[in-house]
Structure 1
Amino acid sequence: MKAWLLKDFGLENLQLEEVETPVPGPGELLVKVGAVSLNFRDKAIVDGFYEPHLVPKPLIPVSDAAGTVVATGEGVTRFSVGDRVNSHLYSRWLDGEPAADEPAWCIGMPLPGGLAEYMILHEESAVKAPESMTDEEAATLPIAALTAWYSLMDIGKLQPGQTVLVQGTGGVSVFAAQIAHACGARVIATSSNDANLERIKSLGADEGINYKRYPQWESKVLELTDGKGADVTVDVAGGKGINQSIAATRVAGTVAQVGFLAGQKADLDLMPLIFRQTTLRGIAVAPRSSFERMNPFLNQHQIKPVIEQVYHFSQAVEAFEHLSRGAFGKIVIKMAC
């Protein structure tokens, strides 16, 4: 089969080659990949600043995939040939709290990912792809949609009438705006681009804040919420901005720390965190059970993934370059266009 192999760190070392098609073992599925979507995690792995000591070389990267089961190993009962399935990043995290070693079983690093014509998934980690979505749409769900869902619904315990703050207009933030709106919450979005703020408003955001125009954007959030702040903040940036997220979140509210776009380290001001009694929760996607709760909600509310551009399998490098420039919603790679 054809597969993209990361031979060393750097996009120039991502190369398309012929490799042996894997054979499913006991409990495993051979999936013909229909499409994959890119996440910041994938870029960070390729660029060498996401746990580089754990990255095997060569590696077939990219965690998020949708495709069709074409063969099954011995003992498989959850799926049959012809079923459409999604990958799930944490392949052994099925329910409840994560185990200490979950990162050792992640699709796309250290386990082989979906940037290939075929991939292996264990039947316990695979999730039935929504019938209402194409492979391109379903491929956007495993990290971006699921992270947003878990942050808001499972951790934030979001209720109708509450307020959600989302940062930027990337994949997680757009899904968070859509899910929160469908849940009956008020949504405030931040971005440096007025056009993107208008677009995310069309998807469910009620208010937009241009953080270049308002560098102290947390004050604007407080102004829009009568001094209260957001009930749940989805922070995709990290870095020093975490202090602004805490300030923009209500007393005893939740900050879901899902990303590190602005840096992997933060100078945390402890006194506001303590006095506001904020829950600062690190989010590393979610268990399979949460995925299986999310999909019916997406179907019920007719939530469709927002895809900025679909690239052909042969254009994987161009797709990663687009991701580096930024995108509204998701970048997808389709096996055949």
Structure 2
Amino acid sequence: MSSSPGPAETRQEVNTTPIKAIPVRHYGRWVAGVIILFLAFIVIRSVVTNSALQWSVVGQFLFDDRILNGVRNTLLLTVISMAIGIVGGVLIAVMRLSPNPLMSGAAAIYVWLLRGTPLITQLIIWNFLALAYSRIGLGIPFGPTFISWDTNTLITQFTASLLGLGLNEAAYMAEIVRGGIQSVDSGQLEASSALGMSRAKTLRRIVLPQAMRVIIPPTGNETISMLKTTSLVVAIGYFELMVSAQTIYAQNYKTVPILIVAAAWYLFMTSVLTVAQYYIEKYFARGTTRPQPQQRKWGTRMLGFRFGSGSAQGGGGVA
């Protein structure tokens, strides 16, 4: 009398059959990749072989003294303006979060005014401030003035550029810092208050270190944006990279190649800032990110658990 295999034996025989994983074919990705490479080849070839771009002129003026002087002034404006913007932004953000309605109201008006008017308008106002105030002095309100300066002498083109760029940036940084501070859990503020910590100490030791993870990425973007925004000081004639480029092509009429030189320097500086931003973000994100699992090994473990055997070699079956 022959005996047929039982359900357990059949399941054991089926489960010991190796599974052949077939990768999914993404033909659309290959087609899109080929199209992008083809278009990139056409664009690069057109740019390289275009005689109207005059690449010899680009190489000639890439390290010209006037261009390098403009690069130096651009970097100087960027660094000092961002320092003014960050310090002012922190102060204004703290004022906006203050329970004092006068302080929060004044900060809100500042942000509204500076963000609501064009930056180029603010630069021109600072540059021509002497038309409204011929002298700027310190003294007692409605009383004697102790010391005063001629406005044209005090506010040079460089000073007007810093005031316009830095104070405008402070309005945007205030909102970035305020968002970072508000991202910190309020329970930590209550705990620090229960421990007897002052508001300033809590802000310095508890709130800001945690808020930096939220503040750093948009601050990096603002720094890169500031580097390019400095070109607006051309409206008041301060000598930076774009002004130096305009001065050169106004003399030799090589407009396009000189603009390529300026664009190349802007791309180089923004690339350096982008790399720096990446490492700064990585530093402040320590302890908040988890390593990504290896997708292939994870998928193998999942397949082994669901379809394979209980052992590594596929011994006992799992239903």
Q: Give the TM-score taking structure 1 as reference length.
A: 0.19
Q: Which has the higher helix share?
A: 2
The TM-score normalised by the length of structure 2 is: 0.20
Greater length-normalized contact order (CA 8 Å, ≥ 6 residues apart): 2
